[in-house]
Amino acid sequence: MSKEGKYIYGVIGTGEKKSFGPIGIGERGDEVYTVPYQDIAAVTSDSPIIDYKSLTKDVVARYLLAYQSAIEQVMKHHTVIPFKFGTTAESNEELKAIMAQGYPKFTDALKEMQNKIELDVIALWNKDKIFQDIAEELEVNKFKEAIGQNPSHQNRMELGRLVAASLDKRGLECAQEILCKLGRFADDVCIHDVLDDGMIANASLLLRKDNEKGIDSEMSELDSKYEGRVNFRCVGPLPPYSFSVIEVKKMGFAMIENARSELKLPQEASLNEVKRSYRRLAKEYHPDKNPNPDAPSKFQAIQEAYDALTEYCQGGKCSFRKEDFKDFFVIKMLRVENGTYKPQGV
């Protein structure tokens, strides 16, 4: 039987207790409500703690849809900074500890995202029309005439390469124009990978709410210009899933001890000593300077240890002794780049 905990959807800018109704993640329809901390609040529900990595993809997809639906319901009334999917706290006390430790980052993110929305835009070729255009190109026509009615396998391969090159060129030019025109209305843009040769552009735009009409007008102009050759799919308004997501990792003693060992620190160290040790080891194991095949993984471990200890070591001397240790949380603000979460500003 799963242990009960607190599922955390996001943080909003109110110090009031509120209920958003039975819209919680999972099958039970748990109440989603706020847990205030000073002038902000966590949006949470009393839900079982689940290891989402152990579930099948279709089950995870249902949970993900419920998580997004709850956040988007809250978004109708508040600016909301989402927590990463699957974030839970074991108790109300642990949730409040997360809010207390993350308060400066959460308030900064709320100010930055105030009155902004995310709009996800995908541009797709109408393949019938675009391949008809390519078939009428002079170079393609000349080649087809040259190879005749019964082309060899090699000729068919070469024709395929000509068509693919033309499609790539058109796609690059089209994507640049679309993103240039739509990007004029955005405060920020996240470019995502295109999934196949039928997709031209895949991007998330961070917009001020008063720029929605400008985007709508520009999309209409683009649609008219391409005369049905490009199909646009727009999803939004959304919370800033691609631009500002909260990641929380609980750090126990074993993790901190491992980080201390990774940075070769004594049982006590200051934040400045942590930084000095990190700089020395990062320089030694940087993959650009160290030819050892293990250098990239070692460099990543050093980076993760530094991230953990800069969160843990605040103030004066920091003790790594077990008797002095208390659980704490590494809290990061993330954005999505090419389908992968990365720390903001990196």
Structure confidence at residue 288 (pLDDT): 85
* Cβ-contact 9, 43 below 8 angstroms: yes
Give pLDDT tens digits for 93-135: 999 989 998 999 999 999 999 999 999 999 998 888 877 777 7
**Model pTM score:** 0.77
> Two tokens at 107?
């308030």
Structure confidence at residue 1 (pLDDT): 53
The rounded distance, in Å, linking the Cα atoms of 54 and 297 is 25
Question: CA 14 → CA 11, 30, 43, 69, distances in Å?
Answer: 9, 21, 10, 20
* Cβ-contact 277, 313 below 8 angstroms: no
Structure confidence at residue 18 (pLDDT): 93
Nearest Cα to 184, choosing from 155, 151, 164, 207?
207
Structure confidence at residue 129 (pLDDT): 83
Give residues with Cβ within 8 angstroms of 154, minimum separation 6.
none
Nearest Cα to 34, choosing from 56, 2, 52, 8?
8
Question: pLDDT under 70 in the chain at which residues?
Answer: 1-2, 137-138, 140-146, 148, 315-316, 338-339, 344-346
Question: CA 243 → CA 46, 70, 334, 338, distances in Å?
Answer: 27, 19, 7, 12
Structure confidence at residue 228 (pLDDT): 83
The rounded distance, in Å, linking the Cα atoms of 157 and 135 is 15
